[in-house]
Structure 1
């Protein structure tokens, strides 16, 4: 059986600035294709929601364990939960039928977080609550992540999502990661083994706070 038969969202690689600076995605072409084909197609980049979970000014940190599928990431630390954007995440304007990309990305981030994280020990079946801890807000930040260091990077675009929660009392259902608690940006900046996407976000967020 062919691996990665699911259909996911992507965009032409030309949509993205090569240096990773933000370019508006509104109105850009969206590609829907089988993931297995996109994995070998650098002319398109798969849209990966890369969600940081933040409580106040502290970010949830985890370690990737050998149980995970991405062998190249084992042992690395991350502040981002990343997933493909699936067809079940699509949101359309009810009047025009136009794809609402922002709402689609937010739905993808919420669905995967609610599947993999547990807040205060109880998952509500309704999508609005995780136990007694509410996801207060999900929004895109003003960057995308573009690297070309290897063949995997060359076919993905990270869309950072800022997910705000009301408490640090969370745990994970995923046996492939070890949750390490919440850390400030200053604490994160001093860590070794941060994966490349997380290191980029920490650097950008620190630069932003320095300007405030």
Structure 2
């Protein structure tokens, strides 16, 4: 089965943002009321769709767990290489790990979300740590490009202890590296980041460069 035949979870845009897009936003939204409402609507109105169809259907949003790994004042970023992944994002840097969600045996959306979130981390990274804390930060929405238009990010930070180590598993597909949070807003770094990661940089590292 090709990746575009994968069956993934989706939800109607009007269910999440309203019939007139009154709750739609651009960038990161950390408002507790908005996050709670959209997440509740998502959990109560989830559907299953073939990925290839969902990628071309802007009336649906695909929920994507997006985990930013932190250690002290650093975040773990990566570059997508030509060996794999979303071709529209090759050579760009990312600050978040995650992917499409698949149905699980649980009827609870929160359980399904966590199962998919940790599965993605385990598939892509070898993380060794003695302590870690997962924190919800907000939602990511970007309707200004064809990738973001059909996705909705569920943003988390994963805070590791100071002795933690990370290695990427598929070195032919991604190159991992640590970045200082204070350097995220530097123009040289910022311009290499994919759109969602620029939103994260704005949130963690201050305003975007002029």
Q: Runs of at least 4 residues of structure 1 off by over 3 A?
A: none
- Alpha-carbon distance in 2 for matches of 1:160, 1:45: 15
**1:1-212 alignment, distance < 5 Å:** 4-14=4-14, 15-16=16-17, 17-20=23-26, 21-22=29-30, 23=34, 24=36, 25-28=39-42, 29-88=45-104, 91-92=106-107, 99=108, 101-120=109-128, 133-134=129-130, 136-142=132-138, 144-166=139-161, 167-174=163-170, 175-180=172-177, 182-190=178-186, 191=189, 192-207=191-206
| Distance of aligned partners of 1:3 and 1:203 in 2 relative to their CA distance in 1, 3 Å threshold | closer
**TM-score between the two structures when normalised by the length of structure 2:** 0.78
Is the partner of 1:81 in helix, strand or coil?
Answer: coil
| Distance of aligned partners of 1:9 and 1:78 in 2 relative to their CA distance in 1, 3 Å threshold | same
Number of residue equivalences: 186
Give the aligned CA root-mean-square deviation in angstroms. Answer: 2.3
**TM-score between the two structures when normalised by the length of structure 1:** 0.78
Is the partner of 1:87 in helix, strand or coil?
Answer: coil
- Alpha-carbon distance in 2 for matches of 1:114, 1:154: 27
The residue that corresponds to 2:20 in the other structure is: none
- Alpha-carbon distance in 1 for matches of 2:182, 2:101: 31
Kindly state the Cα deviation for residue 91 of structure 1 after the two structures are TM-superposed: 3.3
- Do the aligned partners of 1:106 and 1:139 also contact (CA within 8 Å) in 2? no
- Alpha-carbon distance in 2 for matches of 1:9, 1:150: 21
| Distance of aligned partners of 1:103 and 1:137 in 2 relative to their CA distance in 1, 3 Å threshold | farther
